[in-house]
Amino acid sequence: MLGGYISDLAAGDVFDPVEYVLTAFMASEYAHGVEESWEGFHSSGAPGGRQMRPPTMIHVDKMRILERNCLREQRVGGAKGPHARIHYEYFARQHSPAYVGERLIVSGRITDKYVKRGRTYIDYYLEVRTADGRLVTTYTDKTLLKYEPEGKASP
Amino acid sequence: MSETRPPRDLAVGAEITGPARRMTAERIEWYDSAMLSAARGELAQVGSNIHTDEAYARSQGLPAVIADGMIMTNWISSMLVEHFGLSYVERSELRTKFIKPVPLGMTVVCRGRVLSVERLSSGAVAWMLDVWCEDERGVKVVDGHARVEVPA
């Protein structure tokens, strides 16, 4: 179910897309935060003369689309849900670079939600395109919705 | 660093490695704040979560704070940028699984091993690699694979 907590999401839920313009600050600040010094992520002094974002920024897009679609658990805005989630798997396919100044559209859906050994997992599929339709990144993600197995109380 | 040139020295079996990095509270905060800043489009400071707040991490059943797995994914990504340059940013894939928690104080090294090198019908060359992060004892904490296409 959209509109609630992330743990309320269900297989088949289709996210309301988000759209934004990639800025130099976004690319450079993210790269800086992970000690990534390749010049192409920090300035136009890159091959091709255009600043790009690190491909791993698809994970920021995941946060953006969750922020739009899970109104009771907006982590970017500082709001926690009932339980912390644990990221388990990241899988990004990079089809083309995202350049600073481009308008990006993030769309996606929940592909699965299941219980394994008492723990609930959720699978996402996301894709990012430029406003003119060029495919930038496709992404699948597996996240554990709560660290402790069901039936074991938190201290 | 490679820009668009094929990494000719990376034959099947060749290994690549990144620097050894100790996980610190500062590194966790750098990543979490940068992720929030990139999402908001303005400088932001991370608050309490399982990566930054010991009491909150324990309340969630964790033994202590743990690093966000995306920190290690980004370190592996940096290793691929170092070896493949623009080709990695243009056309590639990267999968990482966070198989063990990374606590404060653990020293992490990223590594990769070339599994195959294939010339495609387009003339491009595709490198497939196992990639992973390991601790001081050589125990894997992140496992995965990468594929990078270098154009003809």
Per residue in B32-69, pLDDT (tens digit) is 999 999 999 999 999 899 999 999 999 999 999 999 99
Give the Cα separation of A61 and A106 in Å (integer).
7
Please answer yes or no on whether A148 and B41 come within 8 Å at the CB atom: no
The ipTM assigned to this model is 0.95
At how many degrees (to 10) do helices B25-40 and A24-33 cross?
170
Q: What confidence tens digit (pLDDT) does each residue in B111-132 have? A: 999 999 999 999 999 999 999 9
- Tokens found for residue A137: 């990144």
What H or E segment, with its residue span, contains residue A69?
A: helix A58-69
The secondary structure of residue A53, as a DSSP letter, is: -
CB B133, CB B142: distance < 8 Å: yes
Report residue B2's pLDDT band, with 50, 70 and 90 as the boundaries: very low
Residue A84 scores a pLDDT above 60: yes
Per-residue pLDDT, B38? 97
Asked if B18 is an interface residue toward chain A (Cβ–Cβ < 8 A), one would say no
The residues, ordered by sequence, that sit 6+ positions from B42 with a Cβ below 8 Å of its Cβ are: A25
Q: Flag if A29 and B43 touch (Cβ within 8 Å).
A: yes
For A92-145, how does the pLDDT look when each residue is reduced to its tens digit (9 = 90+)?
999 999 999 999 999 999 999 999 999 999 999 999 999 999 999 999 999 999
Task: Tell me if B36 sits within 8 A of B97, measured CB to CB.
Answer: no
- pLDDT higher than threshold 60 for residue A155: no
Distance, in angstroms, between A14 CA and closest chain B CA?
21
Helix axes B25-40, B69-84, angle to 10 degrees: 80
Q: Which two tokens stand for residue B80?
A: 């691929």
Q: Quick check: A97 contacting B, CB < 8 Å? A: yes
Q: Give residue-wise pLDDT tens across range B62-103.
A: 999 999 999 999 999 999 999 999 999 999 999 999 999 999
pLDDT tens digits for A25-79?
999 999 999 999 999 999 998 777 899 999 999 999 999 999 999 999 888 888 7
Label residue A150 by pLDDT band (50, 70, 90): confident
Contacts of A27 in chain B (CB under 8 A): 38
Burial tier of B142 (Cβ tally within 10 Å: 0-12, 13-18, 19+): buried
Out of B34, B94, B98, whose CB is closest to A29?
A: B34
pLDDT of residue B5: 55
